[in-house]
Amino acid sequence: MPVTKVEGTKNTHRVFLYTLSTCGWCKRTKELLEEKDVSYEYIDVDVLKAEERKAAIEDLHKRNAPLGFPIIIIDDKELISGYQPEKILGALEL
């Protein structure tokens, strides 16, 4: 799957996002992380090829994630669904 990396000076946590290219809440989540200078990786699920999209959705199902976007995964443990700035920043200890 084509993962996009965004570099920031704050990289003590591994932050991974499942997003949609057309989703306003997904864009706001990325902007929040960039404003806080947090490194993160993301995949825009809607632009994936069929097989890649299926693999991404299977990963979300394995994590018991609700099928809504954005999905933020921190340190491969904590999962946050939707644009929740306080929860995201709290999990990142910012």
Q: Give the residue numbers spanning the domain of 48.
A: 4-76
pLDDT in tens, 54-91: 999 999 999 999 879 999 999 999 999 999 999 999 99
| CATH number, residue 8 | 3.40.30.10
pLDDT in tens, 9-40: 999 999 999 999 999 999 999 999 999 999 99
Give the DSSP per-residue string, 39-72: -EEEEEGGGS-HHHHHHHHHHHHHTT--S-S-EE
In this structure, is residue 26 part of a structural domain?
yes
- Encoding tokens for residue 73? 């995964």
In this structure, is residue 35 part of a structural domain?
yes
Number of domains in the chain: 1
